[in-house]
Amino acid sequence: MSDNLNPSSHNPSGAADAPDAAISDHVTPDPIVTHNAAIEEPQTLMSNSDDSGFEPKAAEGSNSGDADDKPPHLEAKSAAEPAPNVAEKSASKPKEPEPENFWVEMRNILVLSIALAFGIRHFVAEARYIPSESMLPTLEINDRLIIEKMSYRFRQPTRGDVVVFRPTDTIKAENPTFNDALIKRIVGLPGEIIEVKEGQVFVDGEPIVETYIEEEPAYMWGPQEIPEESYLVLGDNRNNSYDSHFWGFVPKDNLIGRAAVRVWPPNRLGPLDKQPAFYFEVESEEGVPAPVAE
């Protein structure tokens, strides 16, 4: 057999052939290594698919050539794949969210705060202060009020309400630069005929007693019928108030809201007009005027 495989057997000098270890190892594989490799390779593949984790012990007598006989692609795959328990832990562990940037979070809070403040002020309520004496004695200078804006979405304004409103067209025509909101009390309702005389307000010919005014009005006005969707408003300080007896009626669309609560000063904190602010007079059997609430 060695004569057929060894090319040095045709040496012309006739000298005896010396065995070449390097060529012999390359051409003729070691029968022991071949035998062990044939047995170990199926066991290795079986251990990779076995869920029990059992790994058979390598056969004794194998030399260092075992690792060289294993295909390279299997070695690379075995080195790259993590152990089964490590893979399961990685899959079950939730990914922690990255912390949000501080400035981004502050920006979001600021935008949300502005949006909420604008929404509340525009649709629900807002704070106002009193700059003049036109509503004495009910409201004094620098009183702070909460103006609520929700109730007139569900009901009509009523006599006695203290309201804040935008300037009417007549006011703007007389004072083009005047844009401040005003605060007055509703005295006349749509469709009523109002007249001011003899120090009293008459509604459809009937006088009303007003408990909130600073002093009786020293002027005469009317009679005039109030248009639909409009109101006659007067200041409680009747003789020192720029109100409807100067410039006319307030359209409902100009109303901003109703003065509901005084929040400053602390010694006068609370809702406005806890008791009925006015009533109509009727004569009793003895001929003396008797109050009747509206």
Where in the sequence numbering do the catalytic residues fall? 134, 184
Q: What six digits make up the tokens of 264?
A: 């400053």
* Secondary structure element (H or E) that encloses residue 194, with its range: strand 193-197
Q: Which residue has the tokens 């109303």?
A: 255
Cis ω on the peptide bond leading into residue 223 (within 30° of 0)?
yes
Nearest 5°: CA angle at 137, between 133 and 139? Answer: 65
Q: Which residue has the tokens 């990914």?
A: 95
Q: Determine the 3-state secondary structure of 163 from DSSP.
A: strand
N residues, the chain: 294
* Closest by Cα among 182, 124, 179 to 152: 124
Distances (CA, A) of 138 to 63, 142, 277: 110, 12, 10
Beta-bridge partners for 271: 261
Q: Give the HSE-up count for residue 189: Cα atoms under 13 Å, Cβ half-sphere.
A: 9
Q: Which amino acid is at 171?
A: I
